[in-house]
Amino acid sequence: MTVKTMNTAEVKDLLEKVAGFNQDVGNERVKKIVHRLMHDIFQLVEDFDVTPEEFWQAVYYVGDLGANGEAALLAPGLGMDKYLDIRMDAEDEQAGLDGGTPRTIEGPLYVAGAPLSEGFARMDDGSDESAETMILTGQVTDEKGQPLANAVVDVWHADTKGAYSYFDQSQSEYNLRRRIKTDENGRYTARSIIPSGYGCPPEGSTQALLNLLGRHGNRPAHIHFFISKPGFKHLTTQINLAGDEYTYDDFAFATREELVVEANRIEDPAKAEQFGLNKPFT
């Protein structure tokens, strides 16, 4: 028994007033976008016969989502971050900017201002004795493959419980977050611990909606990177560790084939030492 009200003069007039079309102040782009947004929400109410109870449930859901700080967590779960990435890829392709390490989403757990060092950093504070040591090393190059010295590699990742410092108050400040400047060969090395995958808070708003969609809220073990150098395009990316149950089933849709890496276990202590195992904390 759907009633049709969307295209009545009364609703059209309401939408125009809501978006401030009859005011000659304000921001034109915001007005147009809010007009379209409210139009589409009203249309959805009409098309799905959304009841007032369902409507208010949705409004309170958004309130709760904000109150528990999960707006930027639901966004990747609903594919929004990945969608923007797909758009940026298409833009790059159009501009002829192909090749190199592909981008993927930033996620909601970056913290600016991590300790900065040159060439090498130890990222973990040493407090987790059960953790397995991880050596991360790489080279930053320009689009022609020429090494880039003094690029900043900003790395962040979770601990063995899948938790990130700052958001997890039990970790020390900037634990598992570092900025490393590449050396004269464009190289950087970090000593850290192997992270576990992230899972959405089980009692949170994001997981509540995912449950209704029949979806899990897990990410595979991963390591985030920003790569930057003045005069060059900023790269936001991650690597995903191969062999994780969620490597190809990420709730945030961030995995890309080229970003899946096998970790090699180094058993020989002499070989491990080459990677700076006994260097001091930086």
Q: How many residues bind ligand MBD (CB under 6 A)?
A: 10
Tokens representing 140 are 């930053």
Q: Please, what is the minimum distance in Å from the beta carbon of residue 73 to ligand MBD?
A: 6
**Interacting stretch for ligand MBD, rule CB under 6 A, among 8-16, 103-111, 117-125, 259-267?**
103-111
| Distance set, CA 240 to CA 104, 198, 246, 258, 281 (Å) | 11, 12, 10, 9, 25
Q: Please, what is the minimum distance in Å from the beta carbon of residue 219 to ligand MBD?
A: 5
Contact with ligand MBD (CB under 6 A): which of 74, 109, 151, 155? 109
Q: Please, what is the minimum distance in Å from the beta carbon of residue 78 to Fe ion?
A: 17
DSSP the chain: -----TTSHHHHHHHHHHTTTT-SSS-HHHHHHHHHHHHHHHHHHHHHT--HHHHHHHHHHHHHHHHTT-HHHHHHHTTHHHHHHHHHHHHHHHTT---SSPP----S---S---EEESEEE-S-S--TTSPEEEEEEE-B-TTS-B-TT-EEEEEE--TTS--BTTBTTSPTTTTEEEEE--TTSEEEEEEEPPPPPB--TTSHHHHHHHHHT---B--SEEEEEEE-TTS--EEEEEEETT-TTTT--TT----GGGEEPPPP---HHHHHHTTTTPPP-
Residue 263: Cβ within 10 Å count:
15
Q: Does 276 bind ligand MBD (CB under 6 A)?
A: no
With CB under 5 to 8 Å by kind, the binding choice for 76 among ligand MBD, Fe ion, none is ligand MBD
**Interacting stretch for ligand MBD, rule CB under 6 A, among 101-109, 115-123, 134-142, 183-191?**
101-109
Q: Does 195 bind ligand MBD (CB under 6 A)?
A: no
Residue 3: Cβ within 10 Å count:
7
Tokens representing 21 are 């079309």
Contact with ligand MBD (CB under 6 A): which of 70, 85, 107, 179? 107
Contact with ligand MBD (CB under 6 A): which of 73, 153, 155, 163? 73
Q: Which parts of 96-115 interact with Fe ion (CB under 5 A)?
A: 107
Q: Does 252 bind ligand MBD (CB under 6 A)?
A: yes
Beta-ladder partners of 228: 152
Q: Please, what is the minimum distance in Å from the beta carbon of residue 203 to ligand MBD?
A: 16
- Identity of the residue, 186 or 195, whose beta carbon is nearer to ligand MBD in the bound complex: 195
- Identity of the residue, 107 or 276, whose beta carbon is nearer to Fe ion in the bound complex: 107
- Identity of the residue, 107 or 138, whose beta carbon is nearer to Fe ion in the bound complex: 107
Residue nearest ligand MBD, Cβ-based: 107
* Distance between CA atoms of residues 151 and 183, nearest Å: 8
Q: Please, what is the minimum distance in Å from the beta carbon of residue 96 to ligand MBD?
A: 28
Contact with ligand MBD (CB under 6 A): which of 70, 76, 138, 276? 76
User: Binding string to Fe ion for residues 186 to 225, with x set by CB under 5 A, is what?
Assistant: ----------------------------------------
Footprint of ligand MBD on this chain (CB under 6 A)? 73, 76, 105, 107-109, 198, 219, 252, 254
